[in-house]
Structure 1
Amino acid sequence: MTAEDSFGRLDDDDYPAYTMGRAAEMLGTTQGFLRAIGEARLITPLRSEGGHRRYSRYQLRIAARARELVDRGTPVEAACRIVVLEDQLEEAQRLNAEYRAASVHV
C-alpha cells in the first residue's frame, strides 16, 4: 500500500490509523486500559508489520463508551459486555427498521 492509498483511507472508520499511545491519549486513558478491553475481547486491534497495536476510529468509539462506564464504577469486564449488548441491540433495531420498510413496499 502506498502513502497515497493510506491517505485516502483516513476517512474509513475501520482503517487502523492510530497507535496504542495515540489512541490512549485521544481517549484520555492509559495503554493498560486498552490492553484490558482487548483482553476482554471488546476490541481486537490490528497489528502493524512490526507487531504494534493499531486502532480504528470505530474501535476508539467503542473504547470511549467502555471508558465512560468504567469511569462510573462499572468493572471492565461488565462494561465490555454492556457495550457488546448495546451494539447488538442497535444492529437488531436497524435490521427491524429495514424489514418494516421493505414490508411496506411489498
Structure 2
Amino acid sequence: MKIAILGLGYVGLTAAGCLLKEGHFILGIEPNEDKLALIKDGRSPIYEPGLNDLLLLGVQEGRLETSLSVDGRLGHCDIVMVCVGTPKLSGGGTLLGPSALRD
C-alpha cells in the first residue's frame, strides 16, 4: 500500500518507520528542509531506537519518498495520515475544525 504521511515529527516519523517495517511505500511530506535532508539519507532527526535502520532500509529499497509539499501527489496514495500539531484556541482549547487542517 502507498501511504502519505503529512508531517514527519515524532508521530509521523515513527508511524512511517512502523509502516516501512510492514512493507508499505511511504510518501512523507515535511516543510522543514533540514529534517527532510536527514530523512532522505536514512537518518532520523529524532531519537527512537531502531528508527534509523527502518528509514535507511526504506530509502535503500525505494519505499520511502519525501517532499516539501503535497503538489498533487496524494491521488496516488491509498491512505493519507495527517500528523501535524493542532492550533490552540485563546481559551486553551484545541482547534479541530477544517481550518486546522488548512493551516
Category of TM-score, reference length = shorter chain: under 0.3
With a CA cutoff of 8 Å and minimum separation of 6, indicate the structure with the bigger relative contact order.
2
Larger radius of gyration: 1
- Answer 1 or 2: which has greater helix percent: 1
Alignment TM-score, normalising by the size of structure 2 = 0.23
Alignment TM-score, normalising by the size of structure 1 = 0.22
